[in-house]
Structure 1
């Protein structure tokens, strides 16, 4: 893995993704006491950064592998990302989803012609169902966050942000499965002067914070957080990158996530999901640390059920 790998990745996926805008808000700058630059991956195709990693993973397959299709297990954004990326590239996508996955997300997968295989809502059931598809169809498995090609694809969001704002002191991202923060950390390492990367995480699902402290991958007993995209844990491909290149992880309370999400909706007129609000909540919680700095924030996605808002 080197700088050239990330440049090749960016060139490879460019025709298939949006180069999303970077937005600023004078009012939010004043509220936070720093200069904020929001990278709006909620405006990405299918509404989340996951499109980048999914596209790169499929493009990295051989022609023979693509003929046999791809499979993943996901209840959310990665399911839709793989379905759309596969549809654009003429590849069959098999999507293992827990039976209790939101109907809106199942509908999204079907819109992009993904074939849903339902299973029980346990990780074991999801993995077993995905393995069955691999064996029967010869499909290539794509992991939502713990696969090199996915991590490299994710890195392109921060690469674009740094191209536009090369003087950032820090970039904050939400941390769930670890694929976005690992990619962001690689981008900052190779393409910034001295930009730190910090993760934002809910206290209710703080496995990454504990992993960072203990030096080994920790999991959550429960994950009772509104930030549904951050209920997963780190993997053996992304954790070494995080240990090496991430500065720290800041934890936030549920009410802080909800209040920040509402603030972004009301002040920026931008629709973000709860997971996206976590890094900005971390800034507002630690204003002294970020005072007068140039702060990038990746708004990871905007796939939210507008009939069931927390505010």
Structure 2
């Protein structure tokens, strides 16, 4: 039997649409794999009832079917809420790739497992993209284009707020503008540069300034109730920056007083009648085999 944990991930991170991704140590899914006569998925955990048990409809099941024709019993403890913008389907897909690779000693590299995991993402989101599965597999911060560049994250902590609602990635992608003004492009190059420089210089304030976006987040956030109020509350509480996590509705912020920032964001949402969960997360090293 193989046991592992698969982390939540935050993609896009401001101006890095489909390029930037970050692995977080909270929340985390746990998965078990063992040989069986036929492949079957069992679901547990807080959000287990919210994802499909049918193998062909589950992102983990899609990956398993691509990697082997042998039977596998899979138990998924789903603690990452689906449709939250925290990479729930990516955790299942990446966890499955690592688990099957280890269970059957297939010998695939992480880069090869990434391609399998991306197929699971495609089944869940309707389009293959790598900005969640890459950090889930490689850990820390990933820049993804034709290759994966993994960057170790300094001793940063991240405030993640999950409003108790969901947002389908496939629908959110339809809101992304097809054309961009040159001034917006210039601003976004600046934001992305600040974020990366903040990582390399271990400068949390600079990283936070780099969480801004002039293109995708403004378009998507119109459909996320409470985003502007929560972001303003975060900045008012001392956050250096705040943006959507993935396509939302979750939000991610950075600052020196994480608890104060999280409470301010939660209170702002509560005033709108929106309940939420707050995580103060650290960088994760990606999918980890426990035994």
* TM-score between the two structures when normalised by the length of structure 1: 0.28
Greater relative contact order, per chain length (Cα 8 Å cut-off, separation 6+): 2
Per residue, is there more strand in 1 or in 2? Answer: 2
Per residue, is there more helix in 1 or in 2? Answer: 1
